[in-house]
Amino acid sequence: HVQLVESGGGSVQTGESLTLTCSVSETTDPIGNLAWFRQAVGKEREGIAAIDSAGFQMYAESVKGRFTISGDIARSALTTAVLQMGSLTPDDTAIYYCAARTYWGLARTNLLRGTSYPDWGQGTQVTVS
């Protein structure tokens, strides 16, 4: 069982920055992967950034160069994932979700797939105007 708490959403202007934080508030097993997804109105959920407990990061093309994911790692387990978002545009408007997967061994080709993550946060709204 994993509980995730997201924070940092809000409303900003085009070109501004915003930072989202995902904290693992409860888990019975070590977290090997954390990722951020987003879903805009009328669009499919999109995996945008992921990090594993070795510190490896992966990004969707839509955010590469603008977003950075980082994590706190203790004893080969992730406890926090921070998503720093820059150069925001209205296309970044969405609900942002944090997702977690316990243990290790997830193939890097699957890091941005929603089906790789059994545990999800409640989501936080990001609005760019």
Give me 111's structure tokens.
């890091």
pLDDT score recorded for residue 32? 97
27 closest CA partner among 70, 80, 69, 71? 80
Which band of pLDDT confidence, cut at 50, 70 and 90, is reported for residue 80?
very high
Taking only the tens place, the pLDDT of each residue in 37-54 is 999 999 999 999 999 999
Identify the DSSP state of 14: T
Identify the DSSP state of 81: E
User: Across all residues in the chain, what is the average pLDDT?
Assistant: 96
For residues 7-13, average pLDDT: 97
pLDDT score recorded for residue 46? 98
Taking only the tens place, the pLDDT of each residue in 93-102 is 999 999 999 9
pLDDT score recorded for residue 41? 97
Identify the DSSP state of 92: G
Among all chains, which residue has been given the structure tokens 């993550």? Answer: 117
Q: Using CA atoms in the order 112, 92, 127, 21, what is the torsion angle rounded to 10 degrees?
A: 40
CA dihedral over 75, 20, 33, 27, signed as positive or negative: positive
Taking only the tens place, the pLDDT of each residue in 15-26 is 999 999 999 999
Question: Which amino acid type is present at position 76?
Answer: S
